[in-house]
Amino acid sequence: MRFTSEQRLDDGVLERAFTLGEIPGTLWTSGSAPAPLILMAHNNGLPRGESRLVARARHAAAHGYAVAAIDAPGCGDRPRSAADEQDRADLRRAMRAGEPVDEIFESFIGPLVDKAVPEWRTTLDALLSLPGIGGPVGYSGWTAVGIRLAVVEPRIAAAGFFAGGYVPRAQREEARQVTIPLLFLLQWDDEGNPRQRALDLFDAFGSKEKTLHANMGGHTGTPWFEVEDGERFFGRHLK
């Protein structure tokens, strides 16, 4: 893991960009005592520099967590193929037109999840070897990647998932194998995530301790207090 830039932000958070082989990432920390780590992944490979993710990451870092995000293969700062671009355009167009997106989603997001998960595990190895970062480890964000990670990665102790209306078939089937504490956050009128499918996924998780939070509005309308609720959830399980 090689740090390529570093800046101290006005909330006292240290923001460091890194590369780990081909993987570009960012690490947000504050203070010097060993901090529990949160892996923060944006749904469907949105860039790690996206402003809503950065705001959440900085808030958590300012409140005593180490937070890391990486760009998934073909996303953010990663090289992308013409095929990726085409898939992404097709998905956006179909969603906007209100057409069924299951098949595009399956063929595009399914492989993206398969590629992203091993990279998150590699990143986790590297992060836990840094001074000032301790366990236990939480995961926050992209539901499909989080399901797979929760199943294959015993170091993940608790997870907050967002949306979850569209999740590749493989992860829908893996949901019953997830047993860690979950906070499942959904927007009641999420234009890209059918409500009933999200509720069915919440129902399917094997975890004994799982909490659903739903708020009004569309995909990007999550109220800010859910950021604080998420940190209290991690506070119960990681601190």
List contacts with a copy of itself (CB under 8 A): 188, 199, 202-203, 207-216, 223, 225, 228-229, 232, 236
Q: Per residue, what are the HEC states of 149-160?
A: HHHHCCCEEEEE
- Whole-number minimum distance, CB 211 to a copy of itself, in Å? 5
If the CB atoms of residues 96 and 236 are measured against a copy of itself, the closer one turns out to be 236
Contacts of 99 (CB under 8 A, 6+ apart): none
Which residues, listed in sequence order, are joined to residue 3 by a DSSP beta bridge? 18
If the CB atoms of residues 2 and 208 are measured against a copy of itself, the closer one turns out to be 208
If the CB atoms of residues 3 and 188 are measured against a copy of itself, the closer one turns out to be 188
- Whole-number minimum distance, CB 195 to a copy of itself, in Å? 9
Report the alpha-carbon distance of residue 161 to residue 183 in Å, rounded: 6
If the CB atoms of residues 134 and 206 are measured against a copy of itself, the closer one turns out to be 206
Report the alpha-carbon distance of residue 109 to residue 43 in Å, rounded: 10
- Whole-number minimum distance, CB 199 to a copy of itself, in Å? 7
Angstrom distances, CA of residue 192 to CA of 8, 10, 81, 87, 92: 36, 35, 24, 16, 10
Residue labelled with tokens 């590297």 = 126
Structure tokens that stand for 20 in this block: 């780990």
Note whether 37 and 66 are within 8 A (CB).
yes
- Whole-number minimum distance, CB 183 to a copy of itself, in Å? 10
If the CB atoms of residues 3 and 225 are measured against a copy of itself, the closer one turns out to be 225
- Whole-number minimum distance, CB 28 to a copy of itself, in Å? 24
- Whole-number minimum distance, CB 202 to a copy of itself, in Å? 8
Burial class (CB in 10 A: 0-12, 13-18, 19+), 220: exposed
If the CB atoms of residues 170 and 214 are measured against a copy of itself, the closer one turns out to be 214
